[in-house]
Structure 1
Amino acid sequence: MRRDLSRLLRPSSVALIGGGAWGAQIIKQTKRMGFGGAIHVVNPKLGIVEGIQAVASLADLPDAPDAVFVGVNRQATVSVVGDLARIGAGGAVCFASGFAEARAEDALAGDLQAQLVAAAGSMPILGPNCYGFINALDGALLWPDQHGCRRVESGVAILTQSSNIAINLTMQQRGLPIAYMVTCGNMAQTRQAEIALALLDDPRVTAIGLHIEGFSDLGLWHDLALRAAEQGIPLIALKVGASDQAQQATVSHTASLAGGDAGAAALLTRLGIARLHDLPSFLETLKLLHSQGRLPSSALSSVSCSGGEASLAADTAHGRKVEFPPLTEAQGRALRDALGPMVALSNPLDYNTYVWRDVAKMTAAWLPMAADHIGLTILIVDYPHTDASDWECATQAALNLRALSGRPVAVVATLPELMPHDVMDRLLAGGVTPICGLTEAILAAEAAAFDQDPDPVPPLPAGPERDAHLLTEAEAKAALQGFGLRVPQGQVAQTPKEAARIALSFGGAVVLKGQGLAHKSEAGAVAVGLQPQDVEAAAARMQAGSFLVEEMITDPVAELLIGVTRDPAHGFLLTLGAGGVLTELWQDTTSLLLPVTETQIGDAVQALRIAPLLNGYRGKPGADIPAVIAAVLSVQAYVIAHLDTISEVEINPLICTTTSAIAVDALIRKA
């Protein structure tokens, strides 16, 4: 159920319940922002708070307030929220802590949070354990501390679970117009994606930045991504937790390779949400999206009057998903006309200082760099803090370039502190993005050029927890073969002598495996290329309870890994990568969330570093790529058929030949 958050986030009246220093700040900050609606204080022990006469109870209010800050202790918060819901309030911010976040220290905390949600009913609440929100568009806020926001006519929305990070972000001095700052706290009732959906209803919001600690309700996130794409509102995320491992006890290579962050990365990619990894680039990306929108391409131009800066720009972009394409003939001719024969022409461009201080000539020299195929033209200018006005020529030329070209333009200070505030305001007003930091500029351009649309199909839900056990390799292969996966001819033997008889019936070299182990190679329970007469002795050395004897697959082009793990937070994670015993050493993998299509599988295979080998390296024959795709689809079909029981599936290796793809080892964990 989506709640109506319009009264809470865009209130005509606000109320404070409680008191103390926090309460006084609520009223002070609300007045300071120029809120034009009614302000009420409910507290029987207080007289006047920041010029507002307090009333003794909710019954004394003239009508039900739109937005209420509940600043009382956690037990009282539950009853107050219930009272607000009964009188028809628009919503509440629950400031108190000691709810689910304190469950480890207080066994009653989780029950108290459940009581709070029940008391709220359909009335939306933020928190508990949160600071509230700032609406800088309307001057409406419930915020118990200082903040650095100022009134704006349009701007970006930022949502975070961390109140402290929210305070810090409001204090940014990078010229970013913040329309909304919303803290989510415990998200006991109203989720982060639900709040973001509500903010999409405000046409003054230009982009939404999400500081995410964890996902819940994948369907809601999918709805958010689809709707934001329909409305053309870019979403970006700063997802924390890359260092955590979601699965502590795993038996497959897949799980150890995927770790805890791969699911989050795959989900964001599936949702078409660009990801940043630090607060400065997060803010600069929002600024770029606010002023330019999504970039039309990842092709960049860099303009500076220093060879050192040109080289620095090129190096900073190295390894990122942006490029500095060579100049076209038309660009070269125009630049030569503007700069003469003494300047070496390239992209990034060092135009020297021949035209410096001549605004008309600077504009003419920069204009060819903002060509139609360029997604963003970067003008590198570090303003002197001694007298920034001396660099007025650069500011005016940048504004001229934007006006004449109509293309996305950014002025970038390589050192963030060398971008003056007044210059930032002036550039933004003229449609030019001021960016503080060259690294931040490249990361922002990469994120703003991220053009993947959200997948129309939501990811498969992870479903309930399950107590999984390991199937034998023979059982796993038989199960997957039933869904179309090709496996070697093989039989299970209970004794070494029986293994030898089976090997003899195959009439050639065989593979012998001891059953019941997840990592047979490490345990010495795999022998390949055995002749039938050598099988009995090899089996005796393994000391296994049973044995799998299989035909030997020869002439491989490459070995791949196909793995699926149940990620409780993100669904079912498919990992494709270089396979075999050196899987962890190569670390050549890519991950997607199920379900996937043939096209998505093919793209993922081609994204691997091993792809040239699969395609036929240096004239050698390539692998049967359609057979590889079919193998992945077979694994997916098996997982979908067993969603409520499956925990893990792995094929390692999948032997890829010129005519087939054969799973020579398989692992399944299921309830």
Structure 2
Amino acid sequence: MTSNQRNSALSEALFNPARVALIGVSSNPKKNTARPLRFSRQHGCEVVLYPINHSQSEVLGEQAWSSVNTCPTPVDHAFVMVSSDLIMGQLEACAQAGVKVVTVYSDGFGEAGPEGQQKQNELLAKARELGLRVIGPNSIGLANLQTGLIMSVNAVFEAPDLIAGSVSLVSQSGSMMGSLLSRAAARGLGFAKTISVGNESDVSVGEIVDVLVDDDSTKVILLFLETIRDAPCLASALARARAAGKPVIAYKLGRSEQGDALAQSHTGALAGNDKAVDAFLKAHGVLRVRQLETLFEIIPLATTYRRPIVSGNRSVRVAVITTTGGGAATVVDNLGLESVEAVAPPQSFIDHMQARGLNLRPVPVMDLTLAGTSEQYQDLLEQLLECDWCDAVLSVVGSSAQFHPELAVKPITRARKSEQKPLVVFLAPEALASLQVLQQAGIAAFRTPESCAQALALFFEPPHQPPPERKSVVWPVGLPSKGTLSEYQSGQVFASLGVKLAPQMLVQHADEVTLDYPVVAKISSADILHKTEVNGVKVGLADANALANAMTEIANSVREFKPNAKLDGYLVQTMQPKLIELLLGYRRDPLVGPTVLLGAGGVAAELMPDVSIRLAPVTLEQAWQMIEEVTVTQVVRGYRNLPRGDCQALAQTIVAFSQLACYDEPSISEAEINPLFVQNDGVVAVDGLVSLVES
């Protein structure tokens, strides 16, 4: 069976099954396990449902079967709502009934600790033996609002009316799925498919996204993520979504250490670096929002317009038109925080509008509160959408949006739109009716200035490119294949990739050194990662006598602080000039795989989180982007006529260093060059470390 055939089979059984078994459905309408049958009937389910209850022949007025394998016809999908200790027997019965996908509502598995994880492993092994695909366990279920199939216990489906639409939601949190659906419904936003993946033991978020890419009723995909599992599968699905023109918008927990810890405890997932996750999502075209509000409100923006590329390093320019000066100011203030500029109309445009009967001033907010009719407002909007001095148009509506929705938004909905230039709206008051009018017109409307500014900035943010194809490189002969390497050994790895090192020698005695003075002397040991903490570094040594004395001092200090460390000798390096110090880092992130980091270097690197991250390896173009994103590099890029550094050599060094991702055996877990000196005619690594993955 081909990949496409597998996807098609999973898709049909997952969201479009012809026959569904509800195993463990209750006859008590107040119980959670009665909800899937109640909800499906309430919303006109077109799918054949088989209630399964081992002790009752009738459930909620419908015939019930004692077991799924006693149903009169083969079953495509089973929703299992029995206690975890009864799951194994149900899997056997499902296989006998022809079930292809089993969604397990039952909890007490991977999220419950080591014993639960063992139960989950056994469940998955059994399912694979029987040829079943598993959603969950610990999944609150799924829904297809096109067919009325509500195979979910989420209380949100108690709503008397559900809006079928073109948005599909994949959530790693079952309870948040309901919250997201209710928030979206308040805006008149309709859904096509929704699914809670639970513990994601088998069918992953990536596989579901892949299914939704091929779903004709899905135009945009929302993700609520607590972690990332199976990054390669998700990356492939996101690439297909991007190629198909289906926007993927994500809210990912874990921006703070506490948030990351909570997500881990909830999902039983590994910890990852949030900046690495951010780089992964950007590399695959995902719009990652920081606020739940933005998750919904950005949808019309993402689906109506193709994300533009703003040329050069200039700011995104937004023309702001309003009937409430104070409300507009709140958005403009937040636009500034997002590096988006509210721009004043040029004199040529002011003259153009004056000829059309409207007087404007050369200020960033065009306020029509006191001067201007509804028709003039509409005309100004249309002229702004056609001009070439702004990238987007923002309309800020005042209190009339609350009490006169049609009047307030009429000029916006009636205005002739541009296919290239985005039009967005911020409603200063709480105005649900106006929000819904704009939503129905396909216009992105926002309830908060923060969400509005964030959405505009995110929409115009240039997406990263995915990493290029890896080309395997050969591990240097004679180096260890496990553990942590010494600085000298690490330098051999870097040099083999094309990274320039400071001239250096590994010696036992000062009289062995043939380098030019002055020099630096360091203790060489894989057991001592931070040499300065044991006074293991001496700089500015002018001659052999100074070097010999320094070696004695280093040896005495190391014996005091690290008496059991295995010592290789002394690494002696020629002192190097510098314009700035940078840090180059590499990490095999447990969630998204190899990443490379560029940031401010030296001993204070951890205190100044001025960094740029990409998936590794990187291209030369991506390396240049990283350089431009790190603020401190401005010092060597022509800032205030300071000496320019060799940024071309820096970009090439980043590319070479990122090839650490290309070692298959041994695999590198972490590596660092700190500091990397940027000079006026090159860059040079003066300290570094490599740690290998323990096999």
Corresponding residue SS for 1:331: helix
Partner of 1:549: 572
- The 1:179–1:450 alpha-carbon spacing in structure 2 relative to 1, beyond 3 Å, is farther
Corresponding residue SS for 1:573: strand
Asked if structure 2 preserves the Cα contact closer than 8 Å seen for 1:402 and 1:409, the reply is no
CA distance in structure 2 between the partners assigned to 1:246 and 1:565 by the alignment: 21
Give matches, 1:399-418, under 5 Å: 399-402=413-416, 408-415=422-429, 418=430
Query: Shift of the alpha carbon at 1:644?
Result: 3.3
One of 404, 418, 429 as aligned partner of 1:390? 404
CA distance in structure 1 between the partners assigned to 2:481 and 2:398 by the alignment: 59
Partner of 1:13: 19
- The 1:469–1:246 alpha-carbon spacing in structure 2 relative to 1, beyond 3 Å, is farther
Query: Shift of the alpha carbon at 1:86?
Result: 3.3
Q: Give the counterpart letter for 2:363 in structure 1.
A: S
Query: Shift of the alpha carbon at 1:668?
Result: 1.6
Q: Give the counterpart letter for 2:680 in structure 1.
A: T
Partner of 1:253: none
Q: Is the counterpart of residue 58 in structure 1 residue 68 in structure 2? A: yes
Corresponding residue SS for 2:644: coil
Partner of 1:67: 77
CA distance in structure 2 between the partners assigned to 1:85 and 1:100 by the alignment: 23
Q: Give the counterpart letter for 1:480 in structure 2.
A: F
Give matches, 1:412-431, under 5 Å: 412-415=426-429, 418-421=430-433, 423-431=434-442
Query: Shift of the alpha carbon at 1:116?
Result: 4.8
Q: Is the counterpart of residue 226 in structure 1 residue 239 in structure 2? A: yes
Alignment RMSD? 3.0
Asked if structure 2 preserves the Cα contact closer than 8 Å seen for 1:35 and 1:138, the reply is yes
- The 1:346–1:634 alpha-carbon spacing in structure 2 relative to 1, beyond 3 Å, is same
Runs of 4+ with deviation above 6 angstroms: 245-248, 458-461
Q: Give the counterpart letter for 1:400 in structure 2.
A: R
Query: Shift of the alpha carbon at 1:646?
Result: 1.7
Partner of 2:600: 578
Partner of 1:669: 691
Give matches, 1:469-618, under 5 Å: 469-494=483-508, 498-499=509-510, 501-502=511-512, 505-516=514-525, 517-532=528-543, 533-543=545-555, 544=558, 545=567, 546-554=569-577, 556-618=578-640
One of 390, 397, 409 as aligned partner of 1:381? 397
Asked if structure 2 preserves the Cα contact closer than 8 Å seen for 1:246 and 1:261, the reply is no
Asked if structure 1 preserves the Cα contact closer than 8 Å seen for 2:71 and 2:97, the reply is no
Partner of 1:251: none
Q: Give the counterpart letter for 1:131 in structure 2.
A: I
Partner of 2:562: none
User: Deviation per CA, 1:241-283, whole angstroms, max 9, x where unpaired?
Assistant: 22349999xxxxxxxxx97212211211221212112322222
Give matches, 1:28-43, under 5 Å: 28-43=38-53
The alignment covers a number of residue pairs equal to 643
Give matches, 1:94-109, under 5 Å: 94-104=104-114, 106=116, 108-109=118-119
Q: Give the counterpart letter for 2:213 in structure 1.
A: L
Q: Give the counterpart letter for 1:11 in structure 2.
A: P
Partner of 2:669: 647
What is the TM-score of this pair, normalised by structure 1?
Answer: 0.88
Partner of 1:254: none
Asked if structure 2 preserves the Cα contact closer than 8 Å seen for 1:576 and 1:590, the reply is yes
Q: Is the counterpart of residue 238 in structure 1 residue 244 in structure 2? A: no
One of 433, 436, 444 as aligned partner of 2:444? 433
- The 1:106–1:600 alpha-carbon spacing in structure 2 relative to 1, beyond 3 Å, is closer
Identity across the alignment (%):
23
Partner of 1:252: none
Q: Is the counterpart of residue 309 in structure 1 residue 321 in structure 2? A: no
- The 1:553–1:131 alpha-carbon spacing in structure 2 relative to 1, beyond 3 Å, is same
- The 1:627–1:458 alpha-carbon spacing in structure 2 relative to 1, beyond 3 Å, is closer
- The 1:493–1:107 alpha-carbon spacing in structure 2 relative to 1, beyond 3 Å, is same
User: Deviation per CA, 1:525-579, whole angstroms, max 9, x where unpaired?
Assistant: 222221113222222222245322221112x222221111222222112111121
One of 188, 196, 210 as aligned partner of 1:197? 210
- The 1:446–1:34 alpha-carbon spacing in structure 2 relative to 1, beyond 3 Å, is farther
CA distance in structure 1 between the partners assigned to 2:417 and 2:77 by the alignment: 43
Corresponding residue SS for 2:531: coil
Q: Is the counterpart of residue 46 in structure 1 residue 77 in structure 2? A: no
Q: Give the counterpart letter for 2:670 in structure 1.
A: E
CA distance in structure 2 between the partners assigned to 1:154 and 1:247 by the alignment: 32
- The 1:59–1:476 alpha-carbon spacing in structure 2 relative to 1, beyond 3 Å, is closer
Query: Shift of the alpha carbon at 1:287?
Result: 4.7
Query: Shift of the alpha carbon at 1:88?
Result: 2.2
Name the stretch that deviates more: 559-568 or 78-87: 78-87
Query: Shift of the alpha carbon at 1:340?
Result: 3.8
Q: Is the counterpart of residue 366 in structure 1 residue 372 in structure 2? A: no
Asked if structure 1 preserves the Cα contact closer than 8 Å seen for 2:135 and 2:202, the reply is yes
Query: Shift of the alpha carbon at 1:449?
Result: 3.2
CA distance in structure 2 between the partners assigned to 1:107 and 1:608 by the alignment: 42
Give matches, 1:338-357, under 5 Å: 340-341=358-359, 343-355=360-372
Partner of 1:255: none
Query: Shift of the alpha carbon at 1:596?
Result: 0.8
Query: Shift of the alpha carbon at 1:119?
Result: 5.3
One of 627, 633, 637 as aligned partner of 2:659? 637
User: Deviation per CA, 1:608-646, whole angstroms, max 9, x where unpaired?
Assistant: 112222223333431222222232233233552355332
Asked if structure 2 preserves the Cα contact closer than 8 Å seen for 1:402 and 1:431, the reply is no
Partner of 2:679: 657
Query: Shift of the alpha carbon at 1:107?
Result: 6.7
CA distance in structure 2 between the partners assigned to 1:259 and 1:106 by the alignment: 22
- The 1:73–1:560 alpha-carbon spacing in structure 2 relative to 1, beyond 3 Å, is same
Q: Give the counterpart letter for 1:304 in structure 2.
A: T
Give matches, 1:245-260, under 5 Å: 260=273
Give matches, 1:285-296, under 5 Å: 285-290=298-303, 294=307
Q: Give the counterpart letter for 1:49 in structure 2.
A: V
Q: Is the counterpart of residue 157 in structure 1 residue 164 in structure 2? A: no
Q: Is the counterpart of residue 168 in structure 1 residue 147 in structure 2? A: no
What is the TM-score of this pair, normalised by structure 2?
Answer: 0.85
CA distance in structure 2 between the partners assigned to 1:242 and 1:114 by the alignment: 31
Corresponding residue SS for 2:572: strand
Query: Shift of the alpha carbon at 1:507?
Result: 4.5
Q: Give the counterpart letter for 1:92 in structure 2.
A: V
- The 1:62–1:107 alpha-carbon spacing in structure 2 relative to 1, beyond 3 Å, is closer
- The 1:193–1:321 alpha-carbon spacing in structure 2 relative to 1, beyond 3 Å, is farther
Asked if structure 1 preserves the Cα contact closer than 8 Å seen for 2:272 and 2:590, the reply is no
Asked if structure 2 preserves the Cα contact closer than 8 Å seen for 1:226 and 1:454, the reply is no
Query: Shift of the alpha carbon at 1:402?
Result: 4.5
- The 1:398–1:512 alpha-carbon spacing in structure 2 relative to 1, beyond 3 Å, is same
User: Deviation per CA, 1:324-370, whole angstroms, max 9, x where unpaired?
Assistant: 344245532343345644x5343332222222xx4323212332232
One of 144, 150, 159 as aligned partner of 1:135? 144
Query: Shift of the alpha carbon at 1:291?
Result: 5.4
CA distance in structure 1 between the partners assigned to 2:381 and 2:260 by the alignment: 52
Query: Shift of the alpha carbon at 1:184?
Result: 0.3
- The 1:370–1:50 alpha-carbon spacing in structure 2 relative to 1, beyond 3 Å, is farther
Corresponding residue SS for 1:618: helix
Query: Shift of the alpha carbon at 1:231?
Result: 0.8
CA distance in structure 2 between the partners assigned to 1:362 and 1:245 by the alignment: 47
